[in-house]
């Protein structure tokens, strides 16, 4: 496609028929501070390689949709200031006007699907914000899961969101929410939320098969995999309650709205936990990358 560029590694993987795993870039530009963001992005790519798949970090640079970033492109994006945060609504506009932006879960799913990559690893997805009954703030990520056939491996939504409402909307939209290896729905930094797993699967092959069966049935949309953070890395949910409450109060005070809400809350939580949230975040993204690599390989075998 005239606006799409594959990295050398991703292009090679495509032509060799190797399994690829897509990675988003908003986590790099708006989700973690520099320089940890770049270190983590590289580490996660290495984790995917070590697990037998090929990483493709997705971003828009100077009007081109990159499927896989070269090291210097990743480093430049990680240090850039004022980069656009792209979702379904603004991805095409950014490409058309020669802009630069990082891709959210929604935009990364669109790009991955166009590039023929059915599996994508991230940390947390966007969802229904608390107070959405007033603000109407519901992430476009949820609609995207309902219409684009990509399996997204996350650690569940952060407790900055309304988890119960997020699960309700996903159910309404017909998105399969699969918890890997647990009967309890996880909440990002914590292994447990008060909610039970809508679906449970214990291995990557089952998840890959479910993805394939949906395709065979002609069902649109993808799957959300919620992969609980490893026990040794989790932060108990009660420790985060006051931190999240403060961050939300600050956001309200400062009149933050629209796509600035999620980055604002994430930054305040990182600051207030003095890096503890960041350490846990890194561990869970790496864990998700390994699981996504397994699913990508299982899908490859099914389609062989």
Partner residues linked to 153 by β-bridges: 121, 225
- d(CA 147, CA 220) in angstroms, rounded, equals 5
With beta carbons less than 8 A apart as the criterion, state whether 208 and 216 touch. Answer: no
Of 5-13, 21-29, 38-46, 192-200, the segment contacting ligand PSU by CB under 6 A is: 21-29
Q: Which is nearer to ligand PSU, 115 or 125 (CB)?
A: 125
According to the binding rule CB under 6 A, does residue 24 interact with ligand PSU? yes
- d(CA 241, CA 10) in angstroms, rounded, equals 41
Q: What DSSP state is assigned to residue 65?
A: E
Q: Which is nearer to Mn ion, 132 or 283 (CB)?
A: 132
With beta carbons less than 8 A apart as the criterion, state whether 65 and 24 touch. Answer: no
Q: Which is nearer to ligand PSU, 14 or 85 (CB)?
A: 85
According to the binding rule CB under 6 A, does residue 262 interact with ligand PSU? yes
x-or-dash string of contact with ligand PSU, 103-132, rule CB under 6 A: -xx-----------------xxxx------
Residue 276 CB, shortest distance to Mn ion, in Å, is 25
Report the partner that residue 24 touches, choosing among Mn ion, ligand PSU, none (CB closer than 5 to 8 A by kind): ligand PSU
Known binding residues for substrate are 85, 105, 139-141
Q: Is 203 exposed, middle or buried (0-12, 13-18, 19+ CB in 10 A)?
A: middle
According to the binding rule CB under 6 A, does residue 287 interact with ligand PSU? no
The residue from 14, 45, 144, 158 that is catalytic is 158
Q: Which is nearer to ligand PSU, 24 or 294 (CB)?
A: 24
Q: How far is CA 286 from CA 46, 122, 163, 194, in A?
A: 9, 9, 23, 24
According to the binding rule CB under 6 A, does residue 37 interact with ligand PSU? no
The footprint of ligand PSU on residues 38-97 (CB under 6 A) is none
Total site size for ligand PSU, rule CB under 6 A:
17
Q: Which residues bind Mn ion (CB under 5 A)?
A: 137
Torsion angle, alpha carbons of 275, 121, 286, 161, to 10: 30
Residue 141 CB, shortest distance to ligand PSU, in Å, is 5
Known binding residues for Mn(2+) are 137
Other beta carbons less than 10 A from residue 242's beta carbon = 10
- Computed from CA positions of residues 222, 228, 230, 233, in that sequence, does the dihedral angle turn out positive or negative? positive
Pairing of strands 177-180, 64-67: unpaired
In sequence order, what DSSP letters do the residues of 21-77 get, joined into one string?
Answer: EEE-SHIIIIIS-TTHHHHHHHHHHHHHHHTT-EEEEEEEETTEEEES--HHHHHHH
Residue 145 CB, shortest distance to Mn ion, in Å, is 15
Clarify whether 158 is annotated catalytic.
yes
According to the binding rule CB under 6 A, does residue 14 interact with ligand PSU? no
- d(CA 147, CA 222) in angstroms, rounded, equals 7
Report the partner that residue 141 touches, choosing among ligand PSU, Mn ion, none (CB closer than 5 to 8 A by kind): ligand PSU
Residue 115 CB, shortest distance to ligand PSU, in Å, is 18
By the criterion CB under 6 A, which residues form the site for ligand PSU? 24, 26-27, 31, 104-105, 123-126, 139-141, 158, 259, 262, 266
Active site residues: 24, 158
């Amino acid at each position: 496609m005239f606006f799409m560029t594959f990295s050398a590694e991703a292009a090679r993987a495509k032509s060799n028929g190797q399994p690829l795993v897509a990675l988003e870039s908003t986590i790099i530009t708006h989700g973690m501070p520099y320089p940890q963001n770049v270190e983590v992005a590289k580490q996660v790519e290495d984790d995917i390689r070590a697990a037998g798949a090929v990483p493709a970090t997705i971003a828009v640079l100077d009007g081109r949709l990159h499927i896989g970033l070269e090291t210097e492109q990743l480093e430049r994006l990680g240090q850039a200031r004022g980069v656009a945060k792209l979702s379904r609504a603004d991805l095409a506009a950014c490409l058309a006007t020669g802009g630069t932006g990082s891709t959210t879960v929604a935009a990364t799913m669109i790009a991955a699907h166009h590039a023929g990559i059915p599996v994508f690893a991230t940390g947390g997805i966007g969802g229904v914000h608390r107070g959405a009954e007033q603000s109407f703030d519901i992430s476009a990520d949820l609609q995207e899961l309902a219409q684009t056939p990509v399996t997204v491996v996350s650690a569940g939504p952060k407790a900055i969101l309304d988890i119960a409402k997020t699960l309700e909307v996903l159910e309404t939209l017909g998105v399969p929410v699969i918890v890997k290896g647990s009967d309890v729905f996880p909440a990002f930094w914590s292994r447990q939320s008060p909610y039970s797993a809508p679906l449970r699967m214990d291995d990557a092959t089952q998840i890959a098969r479910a993805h394939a069966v949906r395709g065979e049935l002609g069902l649109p949309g993808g799957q959300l995999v919620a992969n609980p953070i490893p026990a040794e890395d989790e932060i108990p949910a009660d420790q985060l309650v006051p931190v999240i409450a403060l961050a939300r109060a600050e956001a309200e005070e400062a009149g933050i709205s629209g796509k600035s809400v999620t980055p604002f809350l994430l930054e305040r939580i990182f600051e207030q936990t003095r890096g503890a949230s960041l350490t846990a975040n890194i561990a869970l993204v790496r864990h998700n990358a390994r699981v996504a690599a397994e699913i990508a390989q299982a899908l490859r075998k099914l389609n062989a």
